[in-house]
Chain A
């Protein structure tokens, strides 16, 4: 089954992901692709505490994710692939096509970032990277929750 959602969210595993999207998508698993969390056992244990037992939480770094994405796509359960930044998602889009849609769910204030929506701040480089993904056929939209209206990438400029 195709991955139900590829999401970029700097809060990683949290309520909007597990409950807000997890319930309507009937998620069977979430893959958190984050090099830092993947390398730290205590962080992995921490994030496991935030996921209900009916959802399996997996961890990967970018290399492992690129290797495992075909298997995740073949999983009969609905899955969500989550990254904490645009660069990591871009690596997946470029390295493991096809990823037809990417959801920007939460990127918050950091130095150099400009507010685009209340929950989306982007640097010029991040916006350019997203535009390059879109130019190659991936639809990029910002949408924090399923009940919110999606905002197209052009609306974030």
Chain B
């Protein structure tokens, strides 16, 4: 799957890679998502990694928490690029939905992903 915007998952430690691997195993959308870790990164390095992972095209950047170095790096890039949107609180359901709706405009894709992720959080 290579058409449409890119999903970039940015998280602490090995979380992003694990989420991307799980999403690919379940959703079968290899290549739709890119994982970025902030391990041993200062501000400049995490911003460089996020910018490189996003590339030149439209993207949604999924971060683990609505604070911290991953979030701030994503927000700085989003401020400079209207085609890069940020969704916080990344979870597997939102990624699984996102990979099949990558032709949406980035803002719509981000809204949809955030909604799907939120819907998946329940007191079961």
Q: How many residues of A contact B (CB 8 A)?
A: 21
Task: Determine whether A13 belongs to the interface, using a CB cutoff of 8 Å to chain B.
Answer: yes
Task: Determine whether A118 belongs to the interface, using a CB cutoff of 8 Å to chain B.
Answer: yes
Is chain A's interface secondary structure helix, strand, loop, or mixed overall? loop
Determine if A49 and B66 form an interchain contact, defined as CB atoms under 8 angstroms apart: yes
Tally A-B pairs: CB < 8 A. Answer: 51
CA distance A108 to B40 in the complex (A): 7
Instruction: Return the CB mask of A77-109 against B: 1 if under 8 Å, else 0.
Output: 000000010000000000000000000001111
Distance in angstroms from A106 CB to nearest chain B CB is 7
Q: Which of A11, A46, A109 has the most CB of B within 10 A?
A: A11
Q: Which of B42, B46, B68 has the most CB of A within 10 A?
A: B42
Query: Which residues in chain B, 63-113, are within 8 Å of chain A measured between CB atoms?
Result: 65-69, 71-72, 75-76, 79
Determine if A11 and B71 form an interchain contact, defined as CB atoms under 8 angstroms apart: no
CA distance A50 to B46 in the complex (A): 17
CA distance A50 to B67 in the complex (A): 4
CA distance A51 to B68 in the complex (A): 9
Task: Determine whether A10 belongs to the interface, using a CB cutoff of 8 Å to chain B.
Answer: yes
Interface residues of A (CB under 8 A from B): 10-15, 18, 42, 46-47, 49-51, 84, 106-110, 118-119
Show 12 residue pairs from A and B whose CB-CB distance is below 8 angstroms, ordered by the A residue: A11-B46, A11-B68, A11-B69, A14-B67, A14-B69, A15-B65, A15-B69, A42-B79, A49-B67, A50-B66, A108-B40, A108-B45
